[in-house]
Amino acid sequence: MLIDVVTIFPETVECSLRTGILERGQEDGIIQVRAHDLRDFTDDRHKVTDEPPYGGGPGMLMKPEPFFRAVHHCRRGQHNSRVLLMTPQGRQLNHKICEELAREEHLIILCPRYEGVDERVRQWVVTNEVSIGDYVLSGGEFPAMVVVDAVARLIPGLVGEPESVRGDSFAQAGLEGPQYTRPREFQGLEVPAVLLSGNHQMIARHNCEQSRLRTVQRRPDLLR
Ligand code: SAM
Protein backbone atom coordinates (compact mmCIF):
# COMPACT_ATOMS: atom_id res chain seq x y z
CA MET A 1 0.00 0.00 0.00
CA LEU A 2 1.14 3.51 -0.79
CA ILE A 3 0.19 6.38 1.54
CA ASP A 4 0.94 10.02 0.68
CA VAL A 5 0.64 12.55 3.49
CA VAL A 6 0.40 16.24 2.55
CA THR A 7 1.35 18.74 5.26
CA ILE A 8 3.30 21.90 5.97
CA PHE A 9 5.21 19.92 8.62
CA PRO A 10 6.50 16.80 6.80
CA GLU A 11 9.13 16.27 9.50
CA THR A 12 6.36 15.49 12.04
CA VAL A 13 5.21 12.65 9.82
CA GLU A 14 8.69 11.45 8.91
CA CYS A 15 9.83 11.10 12.51
CA SER A 16 6.90 8.84 13.41
CA LEU A 17 7.81 6.60 10.46
CA ARG A 18 11.24 5.83 11.89
CA THR A 19 10.08 3.49 14.64
CA GLY A 20 8.33 0.17 15.24
CA ILE A 21 6.12 -1.61 12.76
CA LEU A 22 5.87 1.37 10.40
CA GLU A 23 9.62 1.41 9.91
CA ARG A 24 9.75 -2.37 9.50
CA GLY A 25 6.77 -2.40 7.13
CA GLN A 26 8.56 0.08 4.90
CA GLU A 27 11.83 -1.83 4.99
CA ASP A 28 9.97 -5.03 4.05
CA GLY A 29 8.16 -3.25 1.18
CA ILE A 30 4.68 -3.93 2.65
CA ILE A 31 3.83 -0.26 2.97
CA GLN A 32 5.33 2.93 1.60
CA VAL A 33 4.56 6.25 3.31
CA ARG A 34 5.68 9.50 1.70
CA ALA A 35 5.44 12.90 3.38
CA HIS A 36 5.00 15.89 1.04
CA ASP A 37 5.63 19.52 1.95
CA LEU A 38 2.53 21.48 0.91
CA ARG A 39 4.75 24.51 0.31
CA ASP A 40 6.31 22.70 -2.67
CA PHE A 41 2.91 23.05 -4.39
CA THR A 42 2.60 26.83 -4.05
CA ASP A 43 3.38 29.11 -6.98
CA ASP A 44 4.58 32.28 -5.27
CA ARG A 45 7.97 33.37 -4.01
CA HIS A 46 6.93 33.25 -0.34
CA LYS A 47 5.31 29.81 -0.62
CA VAL A 48 2.07 31.01 0.97
CA THR A 49 -0.34 28.24 1.99
CA ASP A 50 -2.87 30.24 4.07
CA GLU A 51 -4.92 33.44 3.84
CA PRO A 52 -7.51 35.19 6.05
CA PRO A 53 -11.05 33.84 5.57
CA TYR A 54 -13.50 35.77 3.37
CA GLY A 55 -16.22 37.40 5.47
CA GLY A 56 -13.84 37.91 8.38
CA GLY A 57 -13.37 35.78 11.45
CA PRO A 58 -10.37 34.72 13.48
CA GLY A 59 -7.27 32.97 12.21
CA MET A 60 -6.12 31.84 8.80
CA LEU A 61 -7.53 29.33 6.35
CA MET A 62 -5.48 27.07 4.12
CA LYS A 63 -5.68 27.89 0.41
CA PRO A 64 -7.17 25.37 -2.02
CA GLU A 65 -4.67 25.47 -4.91
CA PRO A 66 -1.63 23.89 -3.17
CA PHE A 67 -3.81 20.98 -1.96
CA PHE A 68 -5.25 20.52 -5.48
CA ARG A 69 -1.79 20.44 -7.02
CA ALA A 70 -0.45 18.12 -4.30
CA VAL A 71 -3.29 15.63 -4.87
CA HIS A 72 -2.76 15.79 -8.63
CA HIS A 73 0.96 15.11 -8.10
CA CYS A 74 0.37 12.19 -5.70
CA ARG A 75 -2.23 10.62 -8.01
CA ARG A 76 0.15 10.36 -10.95
CA GLY A 77 0.35 6.75 -12.10
CA GLN A 78 -2.15 5.65 -9.43
CA HIS A 79 -5.70 4.46 -10.01
CA ASN A 80 -8.55 4.65 -7.52
CA SER A 81 -6.75 6.78 -4.94
CA ARG A 82 -8.77 7.65 -1.86
CA VAL A 83 -8.25 11.22 -0.67
CA LEU A 84 -8.74 11.60 3.08
CA LEU A 85 -9.20 14.98 4.73
CA MET A 86 -8.38 14.99 8.43
CA THR A 87 -11.05 17.09 10.15
CA PRO A 88 -12.93 17.03 13.47
CA GLN A 89 -16.08 17.30 11.34
CA GLY A 90 -15.48 13.96 9.58
CA ARG A 91 -16.74 10.44 10.20
CA GLN A 92 -15.22 9.16 13.41
CA LEU A 93 -12.48 6.59 12.84
CA ASN A 94 -13.23 3.04 14.00
CA HIS A 95 -12.10 -0.51 13.30
CA LYS A 96 -14.53 -0.97 10.40
CA ILE A 97 -13.29 2.15 8.59
CA CYS A 98 -9.68 1.03 9.15
CA GLU A 99 -10.49 -2.36 7.61
CA GLU A 100 -12.03 -0.65 4.58
CA LEU A 101 -9.01 1.61 4.17
CA ALA A 102 -6.57 -1.30 4.59
CA ARG A 103 -8.02 -2.84 1.41
CA GLU A 104 -7.08 0.24 -0.66
CA GLU A 105 -3.95 0.46 -2.77
CA HIS A 106 -3.37 4.18 -2.41
CA LEU A 107 -4.36 6.73 0.22
CA ILE A 108 -3.64 10.45 0.06
CA ILE A 109 -4.07 12.13 3.46
CA LEU A 110 -4.48 15.92 3.65
CA CYS A 111 -3.44 17.63 6.89
CA PRO A 112 -4.67 21.20 7.26
CA ARG A 113 -3.60 23.52 10.09
CA TYR A 114 -4.93 26.82 11.48
CA GLU A 115 -8.71 27.16 11.03
CA GLY A 116 -8.80 24.33 8.50
CA VAL A 117 -9.06 24.40 4.72
CA ASP A 118 -11.06 26.21 2.04
CA GLU A 119 -14.40 24.39 1.57
CA ARG A 120 -13.71 23.77 -2.15
CA VAL A 121 -11.01 21.22 -1.28
CA ARG A 122 -13.75 19.16 0.42
CA GLN A 123 -16.00 19.56 -2.58
CA TRP A 124 -13.54 18.70 -5.34
CA VAL A 125 -10.80 16.35 -4.24
CA VAL A 126 -11.77 14.71 -0.96
CA THR A 127 -13.37 11.24 -0.95
CA ASN A 128 -13.48 10.69 2.84
CA GLU A 129 -13.51 13.13 5.77
CA VAL A 130 -12.03 11.47 8.84
CA SER A 131 -12.07 12.55 12.49
CA ILE A 132 -10.19 10.83 15.30
CA GLY A 133 -12.60 12.04 18.00
CA ASP A 134 -14.70 14.87 19.36
CA TYR A 135 -11.88 17.24 20.29
CA VAL A 136 -9.71 19.64 18.30
CA LEU A 137 -5.97 19.37 17.69
CA SER A 138 -3.85 22.08 16.09
CA GLY A 139 -3.18 20.17 12.90
CA GLY A 140 -3.96 17.08 10.86
CA GLU A 141 -0.52 15.45 11.20
CA PHE A 142 -1.15 13.48 14.40
CA PRO A 143 -4.65 12.43 13.26
CA ALA A 144 -3.10 11.32 9.94
CA MET A 145 -0.52 9.20 11.74
CA VAL A 146 -3.29 7.63 13.83
CA VAL A 147 -4.93 6.57 10.55
CA VAL A 148 -1.62 5.36 9.06
CA ASP A 149 -0.77 3.25 12.12
CA ALA A 150 -4.25 1.81 12.64
CA VAL A 151 -4.63 0.93 8.94
CA ALA A 152 -1.08 -0.41 8.55
CA ARG A 153 -1.59 -2.93 11.40
CA LEU A 154 -4.38 -4.52 9.36
CA ILE A 155 -2.30 -5.06 6.22
CA PRO A 156 -1.36 -8.75 6.10
CA GLY A 157 2.29 -9.30 6.95
CA LEU A 158 2.89 -6.05 8.77
CA VAL A 159 2.35 -7.31 12.32
CA GLY A 160 4.55 -10.38 12.83
CA GLU A 161 1.82 -12.54 14.42
CA PRO A 162 -1.56 -12.19 12.64
CA GLU A 163 -3.21 -13.84 15.71
CA SER A 164 -2.36 -10.76 17.75
CA VAL A 165 -4.27 -8.45 15.35
CA ARG A 166 -7.22 -10.86 15.16
CA GLY A 167 -7.45 -10.94 18.97
CA ASP A 168 -7.25 -7.17 19.40
CA SER A 169 -10.12 -5.18 20.87
CA PHE A 170 -12.79 -4.32 18.25
CA ALA A 171 -11.49 -6.89 15.74
CA GLN A 172 -14.06 -9.35 17.19
CA ALA A 173 -16.80 -6.89 18.12
CA GLY A 174 -15.60 -6.77 21.72
CA LEU A 175 -12.70 -5.87 23.99
CA GLU A 176 -9.70 -8.05 24.68
CA GLY A 177 -9.68 -9.52 28.20
CA PRO A 178 -6.98 -8.97 30.87
CA GLN A 179 -3.53 -10.39 30.10
CA TYR A 180 -0.57 -11.26 32.31
CA THR A 181 3.16 -11.88 32.00
CA ARG A 182 5.97 -12.70 34.44
CA PRO A 183 6.21 -12.61 37.43
CA ARG A 184 3.49 -15.03 38.59
CA GLU A 185 2.91 -12.93 41.69
CA PHE A 186 3.26 -9.15 41.87
CA GLN A 187 2.42 -6.99 44.89
CA GLY A 188 0.32 -9.83 46.28
CA LEU A 189 -1.64 -10.23 43.02
CA GLU A 190 -1.54 -13.70 41.44
CA VAL A 191 -1.88 -14.61 37.78
CA PRO A 192 -5.15 -16.62 37.35
CA ALA A 193 -4.26 -20.30 37.84
CA VAL A 194 -5.96 -21.39 34.61
CA LEU A 195 -3.38 -19.43 32.56
CA LEU A 196 -0.61 -21.50 34.14
CA SER A 197 -2.41 -24.82 33.64
CA GLY A 198 -1.11 -25.56 30.15
CA ASN A 199 -4.64 -26.66 29.15
CA HIS A 200 -5.19 -24.73 25.92
CA GLN A 201 -8.90 -25.44 25.71
CA MET A 202 -9.51 -24.15 29.23
CA ILE A 203 -7.30 -21.13 28.59
CA ALA A 204 -9.20 -20.30 25.39
CA ARG A 205 -12.55 -20.58 27.22
CA HIS A 206 -11.25 -18.43 30.10
CA ASN A 207 -9.97 -15.73 27.69
CA CYS A 208 -13.27 -15.74 25.84
CA GLU A 209 -15.28 -15.33 29.08
CA GLN A 210 -12.97 -12.57 30.31
CA SER A 211 -13.23 -10.75 26.99
CA ARG A 212 -17.03 -10.88 27.15
CA LEU A 213 -17.08 -9.76 30.79
CA ARG A 214 -14.82 -6.81 30.08
CA THR A 215 -16.94 -5.81 27.08
CA VAL A 216 -20.16 -6.00 29.13
CA GLN A 217 -18.59 -3.89 31.88
CA ARG A 218 -16.94 -1.24 29.71
CA ARG A 219 -18.52 -1.23 26.27
CA PRO A 220 -21.92 -2.93 26.28
CA ASP A 221 -22.75 -0.96 23.13
CA LEU A 222 -20.35 -3.23 21.18
CA LEU A 223 -22.48 -6.30 21.93
CA ARG A 224 -25.70 -4.82 20.61
N1 SAM B 1 -11.78 25.20 12.81
C2 SAM B 1 -11.81 23.79 12.59
C3 SAM B 1 -13.17 23.24 12.99
O4 SAM B 1 -13.78 23.78 13.89
O5 SAM B 1 -13.61 22.24 12.42
C6 SAM B 1 -10.70 23.11 13.39
C7 SAM B 1 -9.35 23.42 12.88
S8 SAM B 1 -8.07 22.56 13.75
C9 SAM B 1 -7.43 23.80 14.79
C10 SAM B 1 -6.80 22.41 12.52
C11 SAM B 1 -6.75 21.08 11.81
O12 SAM B 1 -6.41 20.05 12.70
C13 SAM B 1 -8.03 20.60 11.19
O14 SAM B 1 -8.28 21.23 9.95
C15 SAM B 1 -7.77 19.12 11.04
O16 SAM B 1 -6.99 18.84 9.91
C17 SAM B 1 -6.94 18.81 12.27
N18 SAM B 1 -7.75 18.24 13.34
C19 SAM B 1 -8.02 18.81 14.54
N20 SAM B 1 -8.77 18.02 15.29
C21 SAM B 1 -8.99 16.91 14.59
C22 SAM B 1 -9.71 15.70 14.85
N23 SAM B 1 -10.38 15.50 15.97
N24 SAM B 1 -9.72 14.75 13.89
C25 SAM B 1 -9.08 14.94 12.71
N26 SAM B 1 -8.38 16.06 12.42
C27 SAM B 1 -8.33 17.03 13.34
Domains by residue range for the chain, with CATH: 2-152 (3.40.1280.10), 168-222 (1.10.1270.20)
Residue 58 bears catalytic tag: no
User: 37, 99, 104, 168: which one is catalytic?
Assistant: 168
Entry pTM: 0.96
Quick one: average pLDDT of 149-165?
93
Query: In terms of C-beta density within 10 A (0-12 exposed, 13-18 middle, 19 or more buried), how is residue 146 classed?
Result: middle
Please answer whether residues 153 and 159 qualify as being in contact, where contact means their C-beta atoms are separated by less than 8 angstroms. Answer: yes
Average pLDDT over the chain reads 97
Residue 168 bears catalytic tag: yes
Tens-place pLDDT, residues 29-59: 999 999 999 999 999 999 999 999 999 999 9
User: 4, 10, 50, 153: which one is catalytic?
Assistant: 153
Ligand 1 centroid – CA 207 distance (Å): 39
Please answer whether residues 32 and 2 qualify as being in contact, where contact means their C-beta atoms are separated by less than 8 angstroms. Answer: yes
Task: State the Cα torsion 214-215-218-224 to the nearest 10°.
Answer: -160
Position in ligand 1 atom list of the atom nearest CA 135: 23
Q: Using alpha carbons only, how large is the chain's radius of gyration in Å? A: 22
Quick one: average pLDDT of 79-101?
97
User: 14, 99, 104, 115: which one is catalytic?
Assistant: 115
